Amino acid sequence: MTHFGALFRFELAGARRTRTVPAFAAGFGLASMAVAFIGLSAGGVMEVQGFARTSVSLLQLTIWVVPMLALVTGALAGAECHELELMATLPVRRESLVLTRWLGWSVALGAAILVGLGLAGGVIGLLAGTADAWRYLRLIGVALLLLCATLSLGIWIGVMARARLKALAIAVAIWFILVIGVDLAAIGLLALLPPSKAGWWLSILLMADPVDSARVLGLSLFQTEVVTGPTGAALRRVLGGAGSWAIVAALAAWTMVPLAMAGRRFARSDL
């Protein structure tokens, strides 16, 4: 009943053929090259930035672009599930249709991130040396974790919304909330709660936002508490060194829970 491999091959082939994947790879490659090449020009220095500076610069781009792309792609892919009538009449589980759809897009877009950032990383390594290359590699890891989580969330949105346009609108609204809304909520919490209580609430708020989680996880690469913002600083106070693992666990949960909800919903939907 599973035919998981056949479904995965089908979904991966479909995702691979879209223009999104090469465009995403080219976009990330060009962005990282641009950051590496012009990052120091504002200071009057014309040389290629190393991996450490490039990683910091790219982190902000990653936590804005990856969720947007993944939420939109996921929402459209999720809404499209309701058009899979032929597949739904094959001896396969509907949950498998959702899971393989997520997996196909995760692999395709993940490969785009790896290719885009990987090629740029190769050029940076050749021109600026390989010092701090591990930071760059971990940045790629953070981008992949964020991709998996927000793609899953997007698919859930799409399955719930059914219609593409509605799914797209909800995905953009959710992106806005995750990227900006939660920061505003954190500021509000800080203003309302005493510092002794704010720590836990801010940590929970951080876990509740995969984008903020990825941002703090990315900044933790640089062992700096100052720039992680109120939620990141609170997490470090509350959980100490285990904070990074807690964030990874939160991102894993953000991947699995929406996916399970989407599969469950789709399995019970009338097509």
Partner 1 sequence: MIGLKELHKSFGGRRALEPLTLDVAGGEVVALIGPNGAGKSTTLRMLAGLIQPSGGRATIGGHDVVTEAAAARRQLGYLSQRSGCPLATVVGDLAGLVARVREVPFEQAVQSLARAGMEDRLECTLGELSGGQRQRAMVELATLGPVAALLLDEPSISLDSEGSEHVRDAIRQARDRGTAVLFASHHLHDVAVLADRIVVLVQGRVVAQGTLAQLALAAGVPCDAGVTDSPIERIYQVLVQRGRTAAPRLTIVRENAA
Closest CB to partner 1 among residues 39, 158: 158
Please say whether the beta carbons of 220 and 206 come within 8 A: no
In a 3-state reduction of DSSP, which class is residue 69? helix
Minimum CB separation from partner 1 for residue 96, in Å? 11
Backbone angles phi, psi at 200, to 5 degrees: -65, -45
Token pair for 159 = 């399955």
For helices 243-267 and 210-219, angle between their N-to-C axes, nearest 10 degrees: 150
Closest CB to partner 1 among residues 8, 64: 8
Closest CB to partner 1 among residues 23, 242: 23
Closest CB to partner 1 among residues 86, 191: 86
CA-based nearest residue to 128, from 59, 51, 44: 51
Residues whose CB falls within 8 Å of the CB of residue 216, separated by 6 or more in sequence, listed in order: 206, 228, 229, 231, 232, 235, 243, 247
Residues whose CB falls within 8 Å of the CB of residue 75, separated by 6 or more in sequence, listed in order: 154, 155, 157, 158, 161, 164, 167, 168, 170, 171
Please say whether the beta carbons of 67 and 151 come within 8 A: no
- Is residue 179 within the footprint of partner 1 (CB under 8 A)? no
- Is residue 9 within the footprint of partner 1 (CB under 8 A)? yes
Closest CB to partner 1 among residues 13, 192: 13
Minimum CB separation from partner 1 for residue 84, in Å? 7
Closest CB to partner 1 among residues 163, 173: 163
In a 3-state reduction of DSSP, which class is residue 54? helix
Buried b (16+ CB within 10 A) or exposed e, 180-191: eebbebbeebee
- Is residue 3 within the footprint of partner 1 (CB under 8 A)? yes
- Is residue 249 within the footprint of partner 1 (CB under 8 A)? no
- Is residue 163 within the footprint of partner 1 (CB under 8 A)? no
- Give the residue, chosen from 65, 80, 181, 200, that forms a contact with partner 1 under the rule CB under 8 A: 80
Residue with tokens 């933790």, as numbered in its chain:
220
In whole angstroms, what is the distance from residue 11 CA to residue 14 CA? 5
- Give the residue, chosen from 43, 191, 241, 270, that forms a contact with partner 1 under the rule CB under 8 A: 270
Minimum CB separation from partner 1 for residue 79, in Å? 10
Token pair for 146 = 């964020």
- Where does this chain touch partner 1 (CB under 8 A) — which range of 24-32, 82-90, 127-135, 242-250? 82-90
Minimum CB separation from partner 1 for residue 6, in Å? 4
Residues 83-142 that bind partner 1 (CB under 8 A): 83-93
Minimum CB separation from partner 1 for residue 172, in Å? 21
- Is residue 23 within the footprint of partner 1 (CB under 8 A)? no
Minimum CB separation from partner 1 for residue 7, in Å? 7
- Is residue 36 within the footprint of partner 1 (CB under 8 A)? no
Residue ranges in contact with partner 1 by CB under 8 A: 1, 3, 5-7, 9-10, 13-14, 17-18, 80, 83-93, 268, 270-271
